[in-house]
Chain A
Amino acid sequence: MEKINIMIVGVGGQGSLLASRVIGTAALKKSYDVKVSEVHGMSQRGGSVVTYVKLGKKVNSPLVEKGEADIIISFEKLEALRWIDYLRKDGRMIVNSQRINPMPVITGKEKYPENALEKIKSLCSNVIFVNALEIAKELGNIKVVNMVLIGILAKLIPIEKEIWLEALKEVVLEKYYSINEKAFKAGYNI
């Protein structure tokens, strides 16, 4: 494997930073070079958030450029459309079907795209849709949406499941490990 470029996109507060840490730590354990780029500050407060994770033999720039992402995980369906032109031609997407309205939509100034999922499908032939919020709710904690999605991603990357779980253990607080592990496995087994 030369390099895998991953993007995590979503809405501030959905837990994408933690998700990126899990991927990065797993890559390190697998002895890949890895870089993760995240932006804090304004973007934490309900704004559009993007995190780049690049792993492989040698990684220089921490940014993924337009047309370069091998995989985009979108925590929210509108965000999948916003970032879709970063996907490479044969790239894959994992899209959480959750909808979170941006402020211009809430105030009625702009429209949330109709049939977002169909649009994503028409632009990307290799896409996995999942209602991660529902899965997380069933597990008893809506905050683990991120780990359900990481579970799905894990299967697409040449890193063993045991390594992923080790990475998870290292990144999340001990008292939350069990619920996060369940969420990860739920995603992994989809």
Chain B
Amino acid sequence: MKKLMLGNEAVARGAYEAGVTVATAYPGTPSTEITENIAKYEGIYSEWSPNEKVALEVAIGASIAGARSICSMKHVGLNVAADPLFTVSYTGVNGGLVIMVADDPGMHSSQNEQDSRFYARAANVPILEPADSMECKDFVKEAFRISEEFDCPVIVRLTTRIAHSQSIVELGEKEEYKLKEYKKDPGKYVMMPVMAKKRHVEVEKRMARLREFSNKTGLNSIEWGNKDIGIITSGIAYQYSKEAFENASFLKLGMVYPLPTDLIVEFAREVKILYVIEELEPFIEDEIKKLGIKVIGKDVLPVTGELSANILREKLLDKQYEGKTCIEEKIPARPPVMCPGCPHRGMFYVLKKLKLTVSGDIGCYTLGALPPLESMDTCVCMGASIGMAHGMEKARGKDFAKKTVAVIGDSTFIHSGITGLIDIVYNKGTSTVIILDNSITGMTGHQHNPTSGYTIKGEPTKQVDLVKLAHAIGIERVKIADPYDIKEFEKVVKEEISTEEPSLIIAQRPCALLKHVKFEGPLRINKEKCRICRMCMRIGCPAIVDNGNYIEINEALCVGCGLCTKLCSFDAFQKAGDINGKN
């Protein structure tokens, strides 16, 4: 049966068909849907782990215990999981272990555009790269075979355009995979120096065998065409190349580390001009240059952003796009905004009003850095807000700390914020940290986390009690405040920043998009009462529109959260039903 599938969905299908029984992940765009889809299959234990390091550790444990296991993350998540990655390369596996990593060239939803292929090389782990959804499914299954044959974890790398493109997948049968026997083997699984030294030798032997394999595997293949132009490429870059160069010869790489050097030499010998076309870094190109082969690649192609057939035509074929429908006028940008009813809006309004330095983090609330709230000073990586606020205090002293807060989401706090908070307590900081507890992982599309009280399958579970947790690590001042209640929230923030001890404010109000969150419906502006003072415009609600001569509410967007009513001194915002006619 054929089905249209997202790359991520196809990866999930591949895991199912390969007989995987354990799947772990921390959500991160563009990798999130892999584990969301795996969780729908019966018989696969799936979990949202607190972070990627834990996710990989769970998968490693499952593999050593004999199961085929899969662990998924986005590129920056691999940084978090890098520690166990480098060592599981030494221990090897028992049941197959596949690590899915989704890179984000073009940074559609990321803070950098790192190239995960370097991790494969650095950790001595093979890496595969599919070029469409069908290959996503097939390569995952092949990755499990390689993992078991060569006794190593295998990374399968996706990019946004593969992860988030749908194409046709031929479904297959589920393999009958039996748990492998578990045998205690400290020489293989306990990486103390004496054992690890021996294992490193094994790793090098394995890499030699993998290099041989790379030349033979069908994952790498030559498509002969016109031999004037030869193209070595992989993943989505293959698709763009096929579109820009219809008749050229292609060496399509499905295994991008280790590279099939014999095959590359053979291919290079036959073609007149050799291009290496890859997104981001010259990873393949540099390896080929080391073989003494002349190639054209990043000397003309960009190392930033996504490629496209047009970029290839422009840079390599000197064909310019001739636009004709271009509009002369400047089209206003449409940046993402916090949703109508978003609980973070009230909080940022208060932080801006108090002119605080805000050490920020990764999540929906990162949008608080954009106009009109513009109330976030920094954002580096998951969990960094708290440590950075502490660093600011240590650099500039307690008075600066009294004008500084760290903001972090509930899921991010569990991911890697808690260690920062422990640091503040332990090292005698006085920072104020605000946890934006909206009862869900918002940014990636509503995944549960340890503070939400439900598992990935929606089953109720123990819920982390943030208040008790804070007390347990030594925070004595913990306040719960509702960010919709601006006055009270402001009072709490003022109190907490002025104290010379660490404090935690839990800004508690569920995400406006959660199904169980009900609002009373749109508001309308009573024109007779509105003085057009524009106080309401300061909260940056997309439903409130300044039409020049009057203020209006877009009733298709307004949910009726009522935040604007708290800012209006003239009682001009009323329930739509209470005012006659259109405003």
A contacts, CB < 8 Å to B:
11-13, 20-21, 24-25, 28, 33-48, 59-63, 65-67, 78-79, 81-82, 84-85, 87, 89, 100-113, 119, 123-124, 133, 142
A102 partner residues in chain B, CB cutoff 8 A = 332-335
B325 partner residues in chain A, CB cutoff 8 A = 67, 84-85, 87, 89, 123-124
CA distance A145 to B443 in the complex (A): 25
Q: Which of B526-566 contact A (CB under 8 A)?
A: 537, 540, 542, 544-546, 548, 554, 556-557
A112 partner residues in chain B, CB cutoff 8 A = 332
Q: A28-B4, A82-B331 are in contact. Are A101 and B542 (CB under 8 A)?
A: yes
Across chains A and B, which 9 residue pairs bring their CB atoms closest together, nearest first?
Answer: A41-B109, A47-B336, A41-B29, A102-B334, A110-B332, A36-B166, A45-B336, A48-B334, A60-B242
By beta carbon, the residue of chain A nearest B340 is A46
- CB < 8 Å A-B pair total: 183
B322 partner residues in chain A, CB cutoff 8 A = 67
| B164 beta carbon closer than 8 Å to chain A | yes
Size of chain B's interface in residues, with CB distance under 8 A?
60
A133 partner residues in chain B, CB cutoff 8 A = 556
- A158 → B minimal CB distance (Å): 18
By beta carbon, the residue of chain B nearest A58 is B242
Q: Which residue of the partner chain, among A34, A38, A123, contacts B4 with CB atoms under 8 Å?
A: A34
| B499 beta carbon closer than 8 Å to chain A | no
Q: A35-B167, A67-B322, A123-B325 are in contact. Are A60 and B243 (CB under 8 A)?
A: yes
By beta carbon, the residue of chain A nearest B537 is A107
| B240 beta carbon closer than 8 Å to chain A | yes
CA distance A101 to B339 in the complex (A): 14
| B381 beta carbon closer than 8 Å to chain A | no
Q: Which residue of the partner chain, among A12, A59, A82, A104, contacts B336 with CB atoms under 8 Å?
A: A12
Asked if residues A66 and B108 are in contact (CB atoms below 8 Å), the reply is no
Q: A34-B168, A62-B165 are in contact. Are A106 and B544 (CB under 8 A)?
A: yes
CA distance A109 to B545 in the complex (A): 12
Can you list 12 A-B pairs with a CB-CB distance of less than 8 A? A28-B4, A33-B168, A36-B4, A37-B161, A40-B109, A43-B109, A46-B542, A78-B334, A82-B334, A89-B324, A101-B542, A102-B332
Between A43, A62, A66, the greatest number of chain B beta carbons within 10 A of the residue's beta carbon is seen for: A62
A24 partner residues in chain B, CB cutoff 8 A = 4, 166
By beta carbon, the residue of chain B nearest A119 is B327
By beta carbon, the residue of chain B nearest A104 is B332
- Taken residue by residue from 364 to 381, chain B's Cβ proximity to chain A (1 for < 8 Å, 0 otherwise) reads as 100100111000000000
Asked if residues B310 and A65 are in contact (CB atoms below 8 Å), the reply is yes
Asked if residues A109 and B108 are in contact (CB atoms below 8 Å), the reply is no
A48 partner residues in chain B, CB cutoff 8 A = 333-334
Q: Which residue of the partner chain, among A40, A47, A89, A123, contacts B327 with CB atoms under 8 Å?
A: A123
A34 partner residues in chain B, CB cutoff 8 A = 4, 166-168
Majority-rule SS of A interface residues: mixed
CA distance A66 to B242 in the complex (A): 17
By beta carbon, the residue of chain B nearest A86 is B325
B168 partner residues in chain A, CB cutoff 8 A = 28, 33-34
B332 partner residues in chain A, CB cutoff 8 A = 78, 102, 104-105, 110-113
CA distance A110 to B332 in the complex (A): 6
By beta carbon, the residue of chain A nearest B548 is A108
B contacts, CB < 8 Å to A:
2-4, 29-30, 32, 108-109, 132, 160-161, 164-168, 236, 239-240, 242-243, 308-310, 321-327, 329-339, 364, 367, 370-372, 443-445, 537, 540, 542, 544-546, 548, 554, 556-557
Q: Which residue of the partner chain, among B2, B132, B242, contacts A28 with CB atoms under 8 Å?
A: B2
CA distance A105 to B323 in the complex (A): 27
Q: A25-B4, A36-B165, A46-B542 are in contact. Are A65 and B324 (CB under 8 A)?
A: no
CA distance A81 to B556 in the complex (A): 22
B309 partner residues in chain A, CB cutoff 8 A = 61, 63, 65
Asked if residues B308 and A40 are in contact (CB atoms below 8 Å), the reply is no
Q: Which residue of the partner chain, among B166, B324, B334, B338, contacts A21 with CB atoms under 8 Å?
A: B166
- B276 → A minimal CB distance (Å): 18
- A142 → B minimal CB distance (Å): 6
Q: Which residue of the partner chain, among A12, A28, A42, A111, contacts B108 with CB atoms under 8 Å?
A: A42
Asked if residues A62 and B161 are in contact (CB atoms below 8 Å), the reply is yes
- A87 → B minimal CB distance (Å): 5
Q: Which residue of the partner chain, among A84, A100, A103, contacts B335 with CB atoms under 8 Å?
A: A103
CA distance A161 to B131 in the complex (A): 32
Given contacts A41-B444, A45-B339, A47-B334, 18 further A-B contacts (CB under 8 A): A20-B166, A24-B4, A24-B166, A38-B166, A40-B29, A40-B32, A41-B108, A61-B240, A63-B161, A67-B323, A81-B327, A84-B326, A85-B323, A85-B324, A87-B325, A104-B333, A107-B372, A109-B371
Asked if residues B160 and A103 are in contact (CB atoms below 8 Å), the reply is no
Q: A66-B323, A81-B327, A109-B371 are in contact. Are A40 and B445 (CB under 8 A)?
A: yes
